[in-house]
Amino acid sequence: MITTKSPEVFRNMGFWNETFQQAILDTKIAIGGQGGAGFLYGLELARIGVQNFTIADPEVFERVNGNRVLGVNECTIGLNKAEVFAEEVLKFNPDAKINILTDGVTEDNIEEFAYGANLILNATELSMPELGTMIARQARKIDVPVLDIEYIGYAAQVTSFHPRSKTTFERFMGIEGGENAPLDEVKDQKINTSRFLAYLPPYADIKTLIEVQNGASLPSNMLGAGQATQLGVAETLKHIRTRIGLNSTRNTKPIYAPKVRWYDAYSGESGVSSHPRISYYKHLARLVITNKLLRNNEEASYSQHDREFRGDV
């Protein structure tokens, strides 16, 4: 196993010390979902010293994943995402401990998924809200925070759900029935876009957002996934510092819901929104103005006709 005496972590020193590096080495992360952000998030944590993971994803890589997931290549198309992640980590840390759940997060394995984790990343699809709900409920049982990262355009946002906070995942996402809603009822619900996006980029084509609200997949790219990863890793470091009592310096406490931290690498905008739904509608109003009144934004090829024409269905 990697230790504080291993050359793999030498260049980390200087921005933190051996005590913090040891805490990173001792951290266990559970990741639900190995899409663009989930895959890269795990790889970056492994590079700075995290060597104990539980990874859950039932899907295999397809070519459509190649624009944002570093694990996609000719050799991994058709392979399970969680297994590919494990192979990538083991290439540079053969002693890493990685528990792989190729069924994804399920009611049968949720306890195994969260067991021993110091932090859980929920990178599951919001089109399947029962998964995020399941993860959040198990995290509250074992008193562990859940990190949530989203991205849109060239921007991303992050928040965490404290296991003892009144702002639960269910309340934040507007799940009908809240913490007591049966999972089979949660499964049939649709999360409104205003619930999970505190920021909308001003350069977007508003027709794309309308398509997403009508059921199209949220467009994604490597830059957005990268920003989500950076925010997620930064917040993870804060969580680790908090766990070992190293919150002596400024700005080292994690962002907890209802607050949301967001950053747009393209526009340079950033902020922390205490009222994310208000923030969403404020940015939506700006988007309407730039699209409808000023006509500053170029059209994107994302109508249903466009997607059907190129086979993106």
Q: How confident is the model at residue 147 (pLDDT cuts 50, 70, 90)?
A: very high
Phi, psi of 72 (to 5 degrees): -85, 125
pLDDT over 80 at 216, yes or no: yes
58-77 pLDDT, tens digit per residue, is 999 999 999 999 889 999 99
Strand partners, 121: 31, 147
The Cβ-side half-sphere exposure at 202, using a 13 Å CA radius, reads 14
Would you state the pLDDT for residue 294? Answer: 75
pLDDT over 90 at 296, yes or no: no
State the CATH architecture for 7-194+219-275. Answer: 3-Layer(aba) Sandwich (3.40)
- Low-confidence winner among 12-16, 116-120, 231-235 (lowest mean pLDDT): 12-16
Using CA atoms, how far apart are residues 216 and 201, in angstroms rounded to an integer?
A: 18
* Dihedral sign for Cα atoms in the order 212, 226, 280, 160: positive
Range 36-54 average pLDDT: 96
Q: Please report, to the nearest 10 degrees, the dihedral formed by the alpha carbons of residues 122, 242, 168, 210 taken in order.
A: -50
Would you state the pLDDT for residue 249? Answer: 62
**Residue 38 CB neighbours (<10 A):** 28
Peptide bond into 254 cis (omega under 30): no
Taking the model in full, what pTM does it have? 0.94
Would you state the pLDDT for residue 217? Answer: 85
150-181 pLDDT, tens digit per residue, is 999 999 999 999 999 999 999 999 999 999 99
Would you state the pLDDT for residue 252? Answer: 78
